[in-house]
Amino acid sequence: MSSNQHYSFFQSVEKSFDKAAKFTKWDLGLLEQIKACNSVYQMRFPVKLDNGNIEVIEAYRVQHSQHKSPCKGGIRFSDEVNQDEVMALASLMTYKCAIVNVPFGGGKGGIKINPRNYSTYELEKITRRYTAELVKKNFIGPGIDVPAPDYGTGPREMAWIVDTYASLKPGEIDAAGCVTGKPVTQGGVRGRTEATGLGVFFGIREVCNMPDVMQKLGLKVGLQGKTVVVQGLGNVGYHSAKFFREGGAKVVALAEFEGAIYCEEGLNEDEVFQHRKKTGSILNFPGAKNLAKNTDALELACDILIPAALENVINGDNAPNVKAKIIGEAANGPCTPEADEIFSKNGILCVPDMYLNAGGVTVSYFEWLKNLSHVRYGRMEKRFTENLNTHILGQIEELTGKRVDDIERKFIMHGPDEQDLVHSGLEETMIAATREIMDIWKENPSIPDMRTAAYVSAINKVATSYVELGIFP
């Protein structure tokens, strides 16, 4: 999501909040408290570069809300980092976590650097020093504030953070829970890579399983045979396309920045990905038609459109040409407020980013739980379940005199491993959040769109939490 001409990014988040707050019963003071950023830590620290020069680095950590502990949110390395942006992103994290029932307050961090301008050694020094600054001010810890990756950071940076934290806090048994998005060997969790794309799939599938919603859109219930267009074949787009295809939908078009392709019979995202790797372009994929411009894909007739690349790609100019019935905002902020208004008028359902792409933070929560419990998911029950299932199956076969085929046998006997449990937890999370938002919308049909209903869901949960804490009796 980016700022518009009149408002800063943080102010535009406040505006969306105010729009939704009108549909709640909470008093003004409480709403003001929810909106406010509780703690903003702006820091400067020196780093000696490889050439011997000293550079002063500007960095931030914002804790928007402590209505639940710890705070949670990524760390961004970018030239564009500024206090307003970090505050806006931290507040969005509060609402996102509340919507998907992840019991964290919102946080966000940023270091104002372009990581491409630094050597690996310099990046390591900057990351470790930033972590040390957070430790000094009590701004990091498994019960205080738990960062994660964002633009420009990944598992490597998270490994540096946990190592620095653990060395400054000797003997802290839960140190691994001070950050998520770690490599699996350093306390990370399996199933994180595909989490956002899988969450998008679960959310949209649930919407498609709602008979009243489908009736309004003039669509059949269920995902089977629905046509899907995906923009962006990166982490989120690739995995969304994969799960939609495996779930029975037909991915008829894929768009990348160099162009877009269309195939009525459906595309296999991995074959397209391999073709792009080999030829350097998504175009000229065997059996598919090239589209003149990559943005043409956004205007194709289809049931579901998944923008999974950039912000502001659907705006006042092209929204009137969108023919999809459902838009699933996999990217952050792909549709502008002007586009939202046009969708409402044209009867298009836009499923909002704030909850639909929450798979990453949901699985981060599972990683944190794993770190606190000091045991891999599935370790205690996998064999037990397999032994039990083998026994039950044996009894059924003996009693019926029939033998189950090998594929079914494998499926029935399988005990859950870490990835199975993480996927299952994500499925439950996304289904529950979708139903909660839709129920709010149904109860109050004057709520203009699903985005506003999602905000209402967030506000109600955070407000209830404050009231139950006794802060606002």
Please state the closest distance from residue 464 (CB atom) to ligand NAD, in A: 26
Residues 217-256 that bind ligand NAD (CB under 6 A): 231-237, 255-256
Closer Cβ to ligand NAD, 41 or 151, answer by number: 151
Q: Which residues, 6+ apart, have CB-to-CB distance to 125 below 8 Å?
A: 47, 48
Q: How far is residue 289's CA from residue 282's CA, in Å, rounded to a whole number?
A: 11
Interface stretch with ligand NAD, choices 40-48, 303-311, 318-326, 456-464 (CB under 6 A):
303-311
Closest CA to 169 of 134, 193, 199: 134
The SS3 of residue 382 is helix
CA distances from 393 to 390, 400, 405 (A): 5, 11, 11
CA distances from 349 to 121, 322, 456 (A): 47, 11, 17
Please state the closest distance from residue 334 (CB atom) to ligand NAD, in A: 7
Please state the closest distance from residue 359 (CB atom) to ligand NAD, in A: 7
Per-residue string for binding with ligand NAD, 159-198, x by CB under 6 A? Answer: -------------------------------------x--
CA angle 313, 336, 351 (to 5 degrees): 90
Closer Cβ to ligand NAD, 131 or 196, answer by number: 196
Q: Which of 31, 252, 291, 308 binds ligand NAD (CB under 6 A)?
A: 308
Whether residue 350 contacts residue 449, with contact meaning beta carbons closer than 8 Å, is answered with yes
Closer Cβ to ligand NAD, 229 or 437, answer by number: 229
Q: How far is residue 3's CA from residue 88's CA, in Å, rounded to a whole number?
A: 10
Residue nearest to ligand NAD (CB): 234
Question: Phi and psi at residue 76, in whole multiples of 5°?
Answer: -110, 135
How many helices (H) and strands (E) in the chain?
A: 16, 12
Q: Which of 71, 223, 309, 339 binds ligand NAD (CB under 6 A)?
A: 309
Please state the closest distance from residue 195 (CB atom) to ligand NAD, in A: 7
Closer Cβ to ligand NAD, 20 or 313, answer by number: 313
Residues 51-80 that bind ligand NAD (CB under 6 A): none
| Active-site option among 68, 108, 250, 382 | 108
Q: Which of 57, 132, 210, 310 binds ligand NAD (CB under 6 A)?
A: 310
* CA torsion angle 290 296 299 301 (round to 10): -10
CA angle 434, 437, 438 (to 5 degrees): 85
Please state the closest distance from residue 170 (CB atom) to ligand NAD, in A: 32
Please confirm, yes or no, whether 108 is among the known catalytic residues. yes
Residues that bind ligand NAD (CB under 6 A): 196, 231-237, 255-257, 294, 308-310, 330-332, 357, 360
- Active-site residues, by number, are 108
